[in-house]
Structure 1
Amino acid sequence: MSSVQSMIERRPPSVAHLFLSRVKATPDGEAYRYPVPVDEHAADGAPGAEQWRSLTWAQTAERVRAVAAGLMSLGIEAEDRVAISATTRVEWIIADLGNMCAGAATTTVYPSTNAAETAFILANSGSRALFAENAAQLAKAVAEKAQLPALETVVLFDDADGLPEAEGLTVLTLAELEERGTAYLVDHPDAVDKAVDALAPEQLATLIYTSGTTGRPKGVRLVHDCWAYEAVAQEESGLLRADDVQFMWLPLSHVFGKTLISGQIATGHVMAVDGRVDRIIHNLPAIRPTLMASAPRIFEKVYNGIAGKARAEGGAKYKIFLWAARVARAYAHTTQASQIATGTASAPLGLRLQHAVADKLVYAKIRAAFGGRMRGSVSGSAALAPEIGFFFMGAGVPILEGYGLTETSAGSTVNRDGHVRVGTVGLPLPGTEVRIAEDGEILLRGPGVMRGYHDMPEQTAEVLESDGWFHTGDIGELDKDGYLRITDRKKDMFKTSGGKYVAPSEVEGKFKAICPFVSNILVIGNQRNFCTALIGLDETVIMPWAAEHGLAGKSYAEVVAAPETHQLIEGFVKRLNGELQRWQTIKKFTLLPRDLDIEHGELTPSLKIKRPVVERTYADAITGMYAGANEA
């Protein structure tokens, strides 16, 4: 038995056990950093200024114990559901750990979820208490209280005036809950330790409702053993290290962010927590992280921003950027191929010299924008365009693309630092098995796999076999070294009327790598004679271009409707078509009057496109692209 297998098999029953062990091992070590406003009247303060504060593991434990005991004082018992509806912030983690240490199970709710769907999740889970970020989240529960007979208590992270009337609910602040817990511990000093000792591996730890691209969300049952496994596997794989400083901005309501909390507790590294997406570029130089996790859309936006800025500067600077981008990709392609063939990443002298010059002119600035210490950035939740991956790898900010689902506690496969294969989602985490079915579907088995959908045995049986194999619904292939490549979603692949199969995400990924103005693209063509596309443009990139091309003062909708913009994007579509098989090519496209977004229900909170929703919304545009065409 290998040492890794031994560690996996000897994992503790829960992350709560890991947490208490971590606190005992490194009580004075820094655990979390979080931003707080600076007093504008202070000597070094200014309006809007912020500073970062820290919690040691011992300080974190003090608050977690108080939260756990506070929940117990409210009558919360083992496996009772306690929901969290808040943005990513340190209080989210404290509440989640408090839930676990009380024996309760966390129900995660995206703060952007509307009142009706929030009520569905709270009711379906049977949540007895809710941690709500602010009055707006409380208002959702109040508005639907008649549908929530089990909900008794709401705990607010932020103090707020003018709270809505909450008849039938006990409303506390987080500070008040902690005060209750501290008082409870006076009479029951070992209550938390006893609750943690009583936790069993198969006890429910978390209900995460799939945002889903179709239909009502399903509650995924993840037990304590799922998270304990993920924690140990991330540590053993080398994905997370004890000396890391990780920037956590991902939604913690999503399984991707949640699983990384488990791994951080196992290694004990520092995690800087701030979920405000508009603060990412400001936070990176302040935090100087060694590791960050993200969705591909962020890397695409960063790339588009860099390309757009260079284009705006024009002349020599833009030519230098285009040259440096080509060199980055060539260098990454070459060194990756060398490592696969010989075990050593190398490149010819001429390419190395070009890369060194490009590094001084371009790549060093990119690395500095990421804080200057980034050893890798984990990407998941959707496919990353390979050419984006090759660019950042060549620039010295390798993207460690991984793969997993809510149903597998997120982490199933991942590229490792120093062993990245762009275009793949890496190797399985230790303890996870991957198999490709006869029809190409990816099957996964391991401790991280869910125990089923909440109160949905028939739907569970459709995807989870009796021997533990989970049907992902994704199509993929394994190379000779065990690296997994995702081809497409099984349900998203379509066949043209000519009988040719098209994997839309492959085409969409290629276009994102070619066109710096695109934000979202949806390829259409099921049972059609040719493919078309709906394209949403990135406002932050297209508007500066528009101002320089006679469209200054126009709205976004006016800019995308302009012939000049259509001509611009048409040029990129022609470039795309030059890289595709004939049946994959985009014959017509429509520029959308606004980009796809979560608010209109077109994107999931993890920024995946809800294809059926988009196709319904823009049915007239799709019909128009095929009007008069021979589709026989």
Structure 2
Amino acid sequence: MVTCAAPDAEETLLADLQRNAPASFGAMFLERARRTPEGFSYRRPAADGTWRAQTWAETAQAVREIAAGLLGLGLRPQDRVAIAAPTRVEWIEADFGVMCAGGATTTVYPSSSAEEIAHILTDSGSRIAIVEDAALAEKVRPHVEHVIVIDGDGDTLARLRERGREALAADPELVDRSTAAIAPDHLATLIYTSGTTGTPKGVCIPHSAWVYQGLAIEAMGIVGPGDVAYLWLPLSHAFGKALLSCQLSVGFEFAVDGDVSAIVKRLGEVRPTIMPAVPRIFEKVYAAVTATGGIRGRLLTWAIKAGHTNVIADRLVLSKVRDRFGGRMRYFICGASALSPDIAAWFDAVGLPVAEGYGLTESCATTVFNRPRAVEYGTVGRPLPGTRVTIAEDGEILLKGPGLMSGYHGLPSDDTLRDGWLRTGDIGEITERGSLRVTDRKKDLIKTSNGKYVAPGAVEARIKALCPLVGQVIVHGDNRKFVTALIDLDPDEAAKRGLGSDFSAISQSDEIRHEISACIDRLNADLNPWETIKKFTVLDHHLAIDQGELTPSLKLRRRVVEQRYREQLDSMYT
């Protein structure tokens, strides 16, 4: 079996860092606060439109008070505390508070249905829940002993901190003792899988895995203390927690705001140097900018071909594109699903490189990563130092290293973890440069009735890159004679084109169908004959999270969609 690994220099630096590694994630946080107390940790948008920054010392005070407050509620070692809130600084402080108190965080997407929340809270055995507001409090209250509300009245986060201050005044070493008692193999986080292929399972991640993540990313040398990163991704996702572990190890600052609709405005205010994102963000920016027509469109095309190293092209055109992202962006981090190599190369030509990565919840999300200074487009890069990647005989990607889960909560994991190797369920290959290329999900591969295999994820990513109107798309064709597509229009693009008044009727118009058909024709020209999309259907409504068709991170629940829209799919084969 071919195996790939990180560069030797990174492996050496990681070994040096691990000699003085903290025992737990809580200890990692307290050590960061001790080392750089006056450095800035987080900034958040204030009511007056400005951003309020806070130091590591201020963050540590909040975290210690939360930890002491939780201990006052009777929190025991490895007791689960659920957090259900959008991305905000209070989420981070609450999570660090749980870590320092010796508990374990159960992450809950605030957009989850009442049924999903009930399953996660009861299955995890969470005793305490920290939630955004009264509405979420009502959803969690029947399933936990204590509910703490961030925004609202009654038993609030502010009141929990007040009780924590009182406890610390009486016993200043309370939190230090609880943190010191945490062992590396203790449970730190319980994250439930998105449920794209079945019932969500609780992934148990120990403290040692998060500590390793932070040290390994530091050893890669891709971020520094002077960076400012913009954080809007859901912290309920493993990717979000991995970003926090990296921040603690390196010591840079996060600007935090989970309002997706405000990203463009916020980037101009924060002027970050790094931003993690998901492919849909890049697809939409690419579609919006490249749709520019007339003289401006031709000028942009020329500038892209010339590249950002051409002084005239850069000054006249490309620098203005970069200014949309604040003007200081060094690179983007992309994860969660596949990004079209063409889009990644386009951003690089603009002077905004995209470093794509790969991982699973079971591997703490960040397992393989393209180094920004040596990106190989079409791949997800090389493993983090300390991690190994190999390809099994059937093409499945296998992972091994310190960043893996300890198992599934209350369920066997023998089929996933075997002899220290994590079976990812993804199909891939290793390039000559030692990078990993992910081709598709093992279970999602389509086999047509003609015996040909099609990787739907790769085709879906290319459709969205080519056509701004396409929001979600499911490529279908297992045991069929040919491949088809079910398409959900992008809500923002539909609104921009005035499709909101009578979306059901206009989405079925000849004009919309003609535009999508032209994009699919361009796509098909570059595909193998058996991969080409012969027919497509446009939905007259949007796929939705609350209908169980999409995960909170906007991944398709493929099986649910195929079952729910069986009639529409069948009609394309009659």
Contact 1:105 1:206 in 2 (8 A): yes
Contact 2:32 2:251 in 1 (8 A): yes
For the residue of structure 2 that corresponds to 1:402, the secondary structure is strand
- Partner Cα separation in structure 2 for residue 298 and residue 603 of structure 1: 17
Q: How far did 1:559 drift?
A: 2.0
Which residue in 2 is equivalent to 1:602?
A: 549
Q: How far did 1:366 drift?
A: 1.6
For the residue of structure 1 that corresponds to 2:492, the secondary structure is helix
Q: How far did 1:508 drift?
A: 1.5
2:464 is equivalent to residue 464 of structure 1: no
- Out of 533, 536, 550, the position equivalent to 1:586 is 533
Question: What fraction of aligned residue pairs are identical, expressed as a percent?
Answer: 49
Structure possessing the higher radius of gyration over alpha carbons: 1
Contact 2:494 2:500 in 1 (8 A): no
2:25 is equivalent to residue 18 of structure 1: no
Which residue in 1 is equivalent to 2:8?
A: none
For the residue of structure 1 that corresponds to 2:389, the secondary structure is strand
For the residue of structure 2 that corresponds to 1:561, the secondary structure is coil
Which residue in 2 is equivalent to 1:34?
A: 44
- Out of 426, 433, 442, the position equivalent to 2:388 is 433
Q: Superposed, which structure 2 residues align to 1:87-486 within 5 Å? A: 87-142=86-141, 145=142, 148=143, 151-160=144-153, 172-308=155-291, 310=292, 314-325=293-304, 327=305, 353=310, 356-457=311-412, 460-465=413-418, 467-486=419-438
2:91 is equivalent to residue 86 of structure 1: no
For residues 109-132 of structure 1, give each alpha carbon's deviation from its aligned partner in whole angstroms, at most 9, with x where no partner exists: 000011111011111111110001
Query: Aligned pairs, how many?
Result: 564
For the residue of structure 2 that corresponds to 1:172, the secondary structure is coil
- Partner Cα separation in structure 2 for residue 102 and residue 373 of structure 1: 38
Contact 2:32 2:249 in 1 (8 A): yes
Structure-2 change in CA distance of 1:362 and 1:492 (3 Å): farther
Q: How far did 1:597 drift?
A: 2.8
- Partner Cα separation in structure 2 for residue 179 and residue 473 of structure 1: 47
- Partner Cα separation in structure 2 for residue 432 and residue 575 of structure 1: 39
Letter paired with 1:577? N
For the residue of structure 2 that corresponds to 1:53, the secondary structure is strand
For residues 282-341 of structure 1, give each alpha carbon's deviation from its aligned partner in whole angstroms, at most 9, with x where no partner exists: 110111100110111111112222234x2xxx422233334445x27xx59xxxxxxxxx
Which residue in 2 is equivalent to 1:336?
A: none
Q: How far did 1:239 drift?
A: 3.0
For the residue of structure 2 that corresponds to 1:2, the secondary structure is helix
For residues 114-153 of structure 1, give each alpha carbon's deviation from its aligned partner in whole angstroms, at most 9, with x where no partner exists: 11110111111111100011011101023xx1xx3xx211
- Partner Cα separation in structure 1 for residue 250 and residue 456 of structure 2: 39
Contact 2:318 2:350 in 1 (8 A): yes
Structure-2 change in CA distance of 1:357 and 1:603 (3 Å): farther
For residues 537-594 of structure 1, give each alpha carbon's deviation from its aligned partner in whole angstroms, at most 9, with x where no partner exists: 22333454x56xxxx8852222221112111111111111111111011110111112
- Out of 572, 575, 578, the position equivalent to 2:519 is 572
Q: How far did 1:368 drift?
A: 0.5
Structure-2 change in CA distance of 1:543 and 1:96 (3 Å): closer
Contact 2:474 2:486 in 1 (8 A): yes
Between the two structures, name the one with larger relative contact order (CA 8 Å, sep ≥ 6): 2
Q: How far did 1:358 drift?
A: 3.6
For the residue of structure 2 that corresponds to 1:434, the secondary structure is strand
For the residue of structure 2 that corresponds to 1:37, the secondary structure is coil
Contact 1:286 1:371 in 2 (8 A): yes
Q: Which moved more, 1:368-377 or 1:509-518?
A: 509-518
Structure-2 change in CA distance of 1:9 and 1:462 (3 Å): farther
Which residue in 2 is equivalent to 1:57?
A: 56
- Partner Cα separation in structure 2 for residue 400 and residue 3 of structure 1: 21
Which residue in 2 is equivalent to 1:340?
A: none
Q: Which moved more, 1:501-510 or 1:76-85?
A: 501-510
Contact 1:522 1:535 in 2 (8 A): yes
Which residue in 2 is equivalent to 1:536?
A: 488
For the residue of structure 2 that corresponds to 1:569, the secondary structure is helix
Q: How far did 1:536 drift?
A: 1.8
Contact 1:543 1:556 in 2 (8 A): no
Q: How far did 1:263 drift?
A: 0.8
Structure-2 change in CA distance of 1:320 and 1:556 (3 Å): farther
Q: How far did 1:521 drift?
A: 1.5
For the residue of structure 2 that corresponds to 1:589, the secondary structure is strand
Q: How far did 1:480 drift?
A: 2.2
- Partner Cα separation in structure 2 for residue 9 and residue 431 of structure 1: 14
Q: How far did 1:598 drift?
A: 1.6
Q: Which moved more, 1:10-19 or 1:383-392?
A: 10-19
- Partner Cα separation in structure 2 for residue 369 and residue 539 of structure 1: 22
Contact 2:102 2:179 in 1 (8 A): yes
Letter paired with 2:359? G
Structure-2 change in CA distance of 1:263 and 1:614 (3 Å): same
- Partner Cα separation in structure 2 for residue 554 and residue 30 of structure 1: 46
Contact 2:287 2:465 in 1 (8 A): no
Q: How far did 1:408 drift?
A: 0.4
- Partner Cα separation in structure 1 for residue 126 and residue 163 of structure 2: 20
Structure-2 change in CA distance of 1:618 and 1:295 (3 Å): same
For the residue of structure 1 that corresponds to 2:432, the secondary structure is coil
Letter paired with 1:473? G
- Partner Cα separation in structure 2 for residue 602 and residue 124 of structure 1: 22
Q: TM-score, normalised by structure 1?
A: 0.87
Q: TM-score, normalised by structure 2?
A: 0.95
Contact 1:304 1:541 in 2 (8 A): no
2:446 is equivalent to residue 487 of structure 1: no
Contact 1:536 1:592 in 2 (8 A): yes
Contact 1:17 1:196 in 2 (8 A): yes
For the residue of structure 2 that corresponds to 1:626, the secondary structure is coil
Contact 1:305 1:541 in 2 (8 A): no
Which residue in 1 is equivalent to 2:4?
A: none
Pairwise CA RMSD: 1.7
Q: How far did 1:359 drift?
A: 2.6
Letter paired with 2:223? L
Contact 1:288 1:371 in 2 (8 A): yes
- Partner Cα separation in structure 1 for residue 500 and residue 268 of structure 2: 33
